[in-house]
């Protein structure tokens, strides 16, 4: 292939990447978008001792699980996603052809699936989901919505949770209210995908993916939740003493216990013996986005 042919191919690729965030004249523009920023915990700590074998394992997991967020034919039409190191950033323009909240619900569901798949392997995510102006192509992503998502991940999330901005929560609550009229306070599929933490912040309820898998006859939820339990136990065993790192996995244990107590009680899924008496005595409290 000649140099001119390579340049033409690169130009065509660049224009294709920018098409989703361009005006009618083909000029790049900001668009109101659902934007997310995700970070896998522990990468900085593990990097000094990372071997080529560890790198291959990390890439294999990424290849196996990334389809939950990234499907190239669909991405051309409705989203842009970039990966770098242990981070993922994605932007989905709000579509007028979908029902209100449609893009946001799709992103939350996709992130929940990816987060659950990673967590089963002991790779716990922190992140933020926002609604606002963004621009993205195949190599660049920017805009206030991305900045807000990064702030949620880096400064506010603290523990392994993907936070949903207050604007997103208010938007979803309004969508549920309009869709269900006087019955809007009843639990809906949208509201089950989110929980409100003890600090009043909303986050992606990724363990619900196990119930979805069972409902779709993929695998019993109890088996999937056991794998998640075992991954959390391994993390707690790795950090037995009191520390900021251990606190993150104690949070995951509390979330796991609360979810299993609500949805699969009596199946010996609780994490107790790996928690200190104090950690076990005062569990974190969670509540649904929508209450009756």
Residue 241's pLDDT band, with cuts at 50, 70 and 90, is confident
pLDDT score for 100? 57
pLDDT score for 183? 52
Superfamily of domain covering 28-288: Nucleotide cyclase, GGDEF domain (3.30.70.1230)
Mean per-residue pLDDT over the chain, rounded: 88
Contact criterion met (CB below 8 Å) for 46 and 54? yes
Contact criterion met (CB below 8 Å) for 188 and 158? no
pLDDT score for 23? 93
Residue 220, phi-psi category: left (phi > 0), alpha (psi -120 to 50), beta (remainder): beta
More confident residue, 161 or 193: 161
CA angle 165, 221, 34 (to 5 degrees): 20
pLDDT score for 109? 92
Please report where in the chains the tokens 């010996």 appear, as a residue: 268
Q: Which residues contact 290 (CB under 8 A, 6 or more apart)?
A: 173, 176, 184, 185, 186, 187, 188, 191
- Determine how many CB atoms are found less than 10 A away from the CB of residue 170: 12
- Region 41-65: what's the mean pLDDT? 70
Q: Domain locations in the chain?
A: 28-288
- Which whole-number Å values give the CA distances from 181 to 105, 174, 178, 184, in the listed order? 19, 10, 6, 5
Segment 114-155, tens digit of pLDDT = 999 999 999 999 999 999 999 999 999 999 999 999 999 999
- Region 65-92: what's the mean pLDDT? 78
Q: Which residues contact 91 (CB under 8 A, 6 or more apart)?
A: 21, 33, 34, 35, 36, 79, 80, 81, 134, 135, 136, 141, 143, 145, 146
| Residue ranges of E strands in the chain | 31-40, 80-84, 87-93, 125-136, 141-142, 162-164, 194-196, 202-204, 287-288
pLDDT score for 113? 93
On the question of pLDDT at 188 being above 90, the answer is no
pLDDT score for 184? 47
pLDDT score for 47? 60
Segment 212-225, tens digit of pLDDT = 999 999 899 999 99
More confident residue, 272 or 13: 272
Contact criterion met (CB below 8 Å) for 67 and 83? no
């Amino acid at each position: 292939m000649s140099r001119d042919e390579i340049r033409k191919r690169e130009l065509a690729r660049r224009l294709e990447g920018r098409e989703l965030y361009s005006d009618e004249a083909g000029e790049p523009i900001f668009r109101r978008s659902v934007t997310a920023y995700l970070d896998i915990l522990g990468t900085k700590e593990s990097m000094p001792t990372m071997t080529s074998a560890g790198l291959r394992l990390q890439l294999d997991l990424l290849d196996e699980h990334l389809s939950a967020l990234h499907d190239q034919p669909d991405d051309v039409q409705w989203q842009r996603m970039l990966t770098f190191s242990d981070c993922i950033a994605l932007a989905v323009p709000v579509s007028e052809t979908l029902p209100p909240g449609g893009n946001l619900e799709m992103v939350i569901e996709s992130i929940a699936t990816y987060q659950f798949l990673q967590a089963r392997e002991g790779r716990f995510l922190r992140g933020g989901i926002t609604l606002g102006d963004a621009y993205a192509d195949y190599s660049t992503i920017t805009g206030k919505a991305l900045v807000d998502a990064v702030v949620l991940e880096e400064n506010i999330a603290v523990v392994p949770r993907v936070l949903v901005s207050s604007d997103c929560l208010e938007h979803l609550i309004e969508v549920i209210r309009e869709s269900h009229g006087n019955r809007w306070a009843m639990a809906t599929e949208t509201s089950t995908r989110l929980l409100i933490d003890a600090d009043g912040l909303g986050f992606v309820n990724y363990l619900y993916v196990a119930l979805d898998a069972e409902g779709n006859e993929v695998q019993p939820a109890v088996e999937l939740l056991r794998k998640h339990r075992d991954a959390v136990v391994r993390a707690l065993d790795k950090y037995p003493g009191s520390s900021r790192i251990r606190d993150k996995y104690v949070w995951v244990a509390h979330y796991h216990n609360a979810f299993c107590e609500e949805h699969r009680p009596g199946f010996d899924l609780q994490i107790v013996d790996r928690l200190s008496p104090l950690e076990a005595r005062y569990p974190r409290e969670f509540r649904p986005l929508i209450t009756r």
